Amino acid sequence: MKDFTHEDIHSVVRQKVFVQNYKEKKMIDGVKTVEVKRYAGEDGTFEDIMRINNEGYLEFFPEFQVRQINRSKLLAGVIKAWHLHYKQEDIWYVPPDDHMILGLWDTREVSPTRDLTMKIVMGNETSRLVFIPRGVAHGVVNVAGTAGNIYYFVNNQYKIEDPDEHRLPWDQLGKGFWEVEKG
């Protein structure tokens, strides 16, 4: 059989053809992801999400001590963004039955990845933890057709009289940032 080449594509269509990129994208400095092992059995699944040592630190993030655990439920299609912290780090977890896209934006003035943005698929049959350093703005969009949950572990307790919740407009990077990439 004769090879088929780009030049063999109809000239009107040829200009629109592109190659899907599945290469790993550059990570924001300090952001870490850990794949959570899922065990499947005849009776369902089991996930060992987080282990805490005797000193109260996390196994996968040995300098992180959990001070508070939160859950947020997002309705289908909701965008919850942008916010950042000056005094805390977050570790996010979305159950595999939900489907969200975590957006990250390095807003730190002195960072090798300053102004870099990235998206991480959360849930969608995967199970992972994502560590978000202070100064990295973060937000999420629920792309599922149903409500979904985010569990986040923080190393600083929320104080209503001195909240460490700093906001930016949800569309600061443009409304298109939160759209699912098609292709």
CATH number of the domain within which 114 lies? 2.60.120.10
Distances (CA, A) of 52 to 55, 56, 92, 117, 171: 8, 6, 16, 30, 37
The reply to whether 120 falls in a domain is yes
pTM of the model: 0.87
Categorize the per-residue pLDDT at 182 as very low, low, confident or very high, splitting at 50, 70 and 90: confident
CB 123 within 8 A of CB 100: yes
The reply to whether 174 falls in a domain is no
β-bridge mates for residue 118, sequence order: 104
The reply to whether 57 falls in a domain is no
Domain that holds residue 125: 25-36+66-169
Rounded to whole angstroms, the Cα distance separating 7 from 18 reads: 13
The reply to whether 51 falls in a domain is no
The reply to whether 143 falls in a domain is yes
The model's pLDDT over 37-69, given as tens digits with 9 standing for 90+, comes to 999 999 999 999 999 999 889 989 999 999 999
CB 121 within 8 A of CB 143: no
The reply to whether 176 falls in a domain is no
Higher pLDDT, 140 or 7: 140
The reply to whether 135 falls in a domain is yes
Return the structure tokens found at 10.
Answer: 């109809």
The candidate with the shortest Cα–Cα distance to 148, out of 82, 100, 111, is 100
* Domain tally, the chain: 1
The reply to whether 91 falls in a domain is yes
pLDDT of residue 183: 66
